[in-house]
Amino acid sequence: MANQKGGVAKTTTTHSLGAGLAELGERVLLVDLDPQACLTYSLGVDPDTIDASLHDVLAGRAEAADVVVKSGDLTALPSTIDLAGAEVHLMTRTGREHALARALKPLLGEYDTILIDCPPSLGVLTINGLTAAGEVIVPLQCETLGHRGVGQLLETIGDGRSFTNPDLTVRGLVVTMFDGRTRHSRELLADLDERYSVPVLGDPIPKSVRFAEAPGRGRSILTHAPRSAGAEAYRAIARILHQENR
Ligand code: ADP
Ligand code: MG
């Protein structure tokens, strides 16, 4: 999940699609690549209480398999604020873009899907995410400012393809926090796939206060408000991913 803009629901989308895929029986690993550790918190894991994190893995001090934590049906590679230092640490090493890909390699056989939650920047951590991934999903908010950076992101993905990951593809856009009551957002939605020539996955995720409540309880929207429109919208996208992957 990548978008250099903050607050477009990357973390929410990672957690919700992970929960949706787990409901379908997949073995899911969530990777928190953001030093702010919002995904780790939202899984009910307090970064202050864990012995080792993704930072130790990227710094070569620990194996990913020894750092993963369980949260219900999901497994996660947690983050802590130390990961902010990884930017600097990785910056000084050659092959730095491949650190995450290398770290995840031993785990590939153990999971059906690995979802990576990128930080809100196009720095070395996001590049590591794009290098490790087979596909990118771009969550975006359907208002002008929300998707102004998407063109730039797609360019970065293009660069990543030529330099570190020739096989990287864009799986699609997920329209988040959608308020279909305004004509403006309906119009923006209508020309999205044409504008970027990438598919829009499923239907827009509706804006709802239920989303703000879930992380504090260490749950995804799928368990916090299982029958809500937001949970169903994420389930529908998880079904699309699951079916296409089989
Ligand atoms: P990002 O990871 O891109 O920075 P987050 O997933 O942390 O974005 O979401 C930003 C905020 O928006 C969070 O407080 C989250 O609870 C809220 N949010 C996410 N999706 C929705 C939604 N569909 N409706 C309302 N609020 C949402
Ligand atoms: Mg986030």
| pLDDT per residue of the chain (246 residues) written in tens, 0 to 9 | 999 999 999 999 999 999 999 999 999 999 999 999 999 999 999 999 999 999 999 988 999 999 999 999 999 999 999 999 877 777 677 788 999 999 999 999 999 999 999 999 988 999 999 999 999 999 998 775 556 788 888 888 887 777 789 999 999 999 999 998 888 888 888 888 788 889 999 999 999 999 999 999 999 999 999 999 999 999 999 999 999 876
* C-alpha to C-alpha distances, 66 to 22, 33, 70, 217, nearest whole angstrom: 21, 17, 12, 25
Tell whether 155 is covered by a domain. yes
Tell whether 236 is covered by a domain. yes
For residues 86 and 55, give the distance between their C-alpha atoms in angstroms, rounded to a whole number.
6
Q: Which of 209, 211, 213 to mutate to test the pocket of ligand 1 (most atoms within 8 A of CB)?
A: 211
For ligand 1, atom 5, which residue shows the shortest CA distance?
9
9 lines ligand 1 (CB under 6 A): yes
For ligand 1, atom 4, which residue shows the shortest CA distance?
7
Tell whether 184 is covered by a domain. yes
User: What range does the domain containing 101 cover?
Assistant: 10-245
pLDDT of res. 146: 55
CATH number of the domain that residue 191 is part of: 3.40.50.300
**Number of domains the chain is built from:** 1
pLDDT of res. 145: 55
Tell whether 190 is covered by a domain. yes
Cα of 12 vs centre of ligand 1, distance in Å, is 6
For residues 42 and 146, give the distance between their C-alpha atoms in angstroms, rounded to a whole number.
23
Tell whether 5 is covered by a domain. no
For residues 231 and 20, give the distance between their C-alpha atoms in angstroms, rounded to a whole number.
9
Closest to 86 measured CA to CA, from 123, 41, 49: 123
Cα of 37 vs centre of ligand 2, distance in Å, is 8
Nearest-atom number in ligand 1 for the CA of 139 is: 3
Tell whether 141 is covered by a domain. yes
242 lines ligand 1 (CB under 6 A): no
Tell whether 1 is covered by a domain. no
Tell whether 146 is covered by a domain. yes
